[in-house]
Each structure stands twice: as structure tokens, then as C-alpha cells.
A = this chain, B = another copy of it.
Amino acid sequence: MLGCFLLGQAAFAGLALAQEDPLASWNEGPAKSAILEFVAETTDPDSQGYVAPDERIAVFDNDGTLWSEKPLYFQVLFAIERLQEMAGDHPERTETQPFKAALKRDWEAVAASGGKGLMKLLAATQTGMSDRTFTAEVQDWLDTARHPRFDRPFTELVFQPMLDVLEYLRANGFRTWIVSGGGIDFMRAWTEEAYGVPPEQVIGTQVDLDYVSDTKAPAFERKSGTFFFTDGANKPIGIQRHVGRRPVIAFGNSDGDLEMLEWTTTGEGPRLGVLIHHTDAEREWAYDRESDIGRLDKGLAEGPDRGWIIVDMADDWAQVYPWQSAP
């Protein structure tokens, strides 16, 4: 009942906002219009494109889509800090990559080490402990760490336009899911507070887990093997495993999101696929085809023909971060 009461309030707030502007942080333009029109069409019971509430599933990539990802995915920056703390126990790491670069905080060299290098950093620093210890370490880091460029907590580098989209969709009966290559347990430590996305709606990369049976205090142990890496074709597979329904909306920002957008937008009826193009070096970053982090190449080439909206961050977003001046 309380949940329903709160949902009712959110819906009411949504209606109130609609009379103002539910996407106030977006500039007028084709991207904003496409989102508003899609929601109007799918939630109007008299529209041909009406989508029943149960089927209102919206999926979002996280890094580069809901928050920034430069100079490196923030979970990797967390790994690098853990690596500094653990350095005394692992003198051999000063000699081998990607640890050597990470210990020097040489972000470009770490990024260039590719997926395999990043996975090594994560395995070395974020496994071999209980899930409870890990979550506490994530929370400690979020409380104390600051972003190297903006000198703010990482959770302040979320995108205001995407917060507006999440809230607007939920006010219209959509359930908002995260589908990210980032670690599921890393994200769950903060997505509810940052985005309003509860743990059961977070899909992400999973390490092997052991259940440590105990009649008083059982626990989960994080193992170094990767159980499931949620990128590329594994994004729709992760959606199928967790949601079991085909989404009608997908937001991403890199070529790792193309299968998720394809699976979402090739279904019947109205579908919305959106790619965030990072074009704003001043307020955020500008990168695409050549970037080791968040590379967007094929998506830019094929997206428009496939009916996907390409958001030009510099043009389409009136505001980037919540603490930057509102429009």
C-alpha cells in the first residue's frame, strides 16, 4: 500500500511536471520531441501504438549513458585506488601490465590495455572477499573519492537529462532497468539512490559466487572467474535472462549497445532506440570512433538508417550535470 501511495505521488508529480516540462534539461529538438511523442503514443489507450503497463520496459546502459566514463570507467578508477592500497602485498605488480600503468595512474595506458586489461584490474581488486565487504568498500570509495577533473563525488557525475528521462518514464508507468557492462554488485551499491533504480532492476557483469553455508551467518564469496560479461550480444541475453520481456525503449552510447538497441527496436509496434553521442568537450567530453573507452563507430554509421535517435550532447542537452547551472 505504501508503495502504491508513493507511486501515486510520483505519477501525480509526473502529471504536474507535464504541464511544466518533464524534460526541462533538454533543448527543443528532434531528440526531445521523439521521446515526448513516444511516451504520449504508448501510454494513450486510444492510440494504435498503446503499450500495456506490464510491457513498458525501458533499458539503459550505464557508463557514458547515465553517468560519465572518462578518463576511465569509474569502476576501473575505483579498482586503481584499491590497487594502490594493496600495493605493499603485491610488489610483483610494479613490473607487469596493466598493474604498472594503473599504479602510476596512467589512465591512457590502462584504457589502451583493453577489455582484458580492465578485467584483470577488476579481478585483482574486487574479488576474493564477501559480497558484504565489497559493497562496504564501494560505499567508502563513493563517500571519499573525487573525480580527477571535476573534484566531486562520482555520483555527482550523473546526467541531469537522463535523470529527467528516468523520472518521466516511471511517472508514465515504465519500469527502468540498467543493462551495463559494469559490475552488477558495484552498481547496486548506489543506483537506487542515484537513479531510483532498485537492485532487482540492475543487470550487469557478474563474477562467480560461492555460497558459504552456515547455520548462523551464511555469506557469498566473490570469486575471480567471470560468470557473465554483459556487453554486446550479452546485453539482450542478459535482458532475456532477467526480465524475460522484450523492452520497448533502449538508451546506450557505444557500439557495445548495438545488439541491445537492435533487439529492442526490431519488435512490433512503437520502439525507441537512442544513442548518446559525446560531443561536448567543454561541459563533459567529446569522443566517438577513436576512443578506447565508449567507442561509438558502427552506431554512428548505421544508427540513423535503423531509426535510432542520435543525441548530440552539446546541442540537445541544456544541462549536463545536476550541479551545473540549470537552463
Contact = CB atoms under 8 A, between A and B. Distances in A.
Interface of A: 1-4, 7-8, 11, 52-54, 131, 173, 184-185, 188, 198-200, 202, 206, 209-211, 213-218, 220, 233-234, 236-237, 240-245, 259, 262-263, 266, 306
A22 to B, nearest CB: 15
Contacts of A266: 214-218
B54 A259 contact: no
B3 A200 contact: no
A89 to B, nearest CB: 28
A3 B175 CA distance: 11
Given A4-B8, A11-B1, A266-B215, A237 B259 contact: no
B211 A233 contact: yes
Contact of A173 (B1, B210, B241): B1
A53 B211 contact: no
Contacts of A210: 233
Identical chains bound together, number: 2
Contacts of A7: 3-4, 7
Contacts of A131: 240
Contacts of A234: 211
A252 B262 CA distance: 39
Given A1-B173, A188-B244, 14 more contacts: A2-B53, A3-B173, A185-B244, A199-B245, A200-B242, A209-B240, A211-B234, A211-B236, A213-B259, A215-B262, A215-B266, A218-B262, A218-B263, A220-B240
A166 B266 CA distance: 35
24 contacts: A2-B53, A3-B7, A4-B4, A4-B7, A4-B11, A7-B7, A184-B241, A185-B244, A200-B242, A200-B245, A206-B241, A209-B241, A211-B234, A211-B237, A213-B259, A213-B262, A215-B262, A215-B266, A216-B266, A218-B236, A218-B263, A218-B266, A220-B240, A242-B242
A53 B202 contact: no
The 7 closest A-B pairs by CB, nearest first: A199-B244, A211-B233, A3-B53, A2-B53, A4-B7, A200-B243, A209-B237
Contacts of A173: 1-3
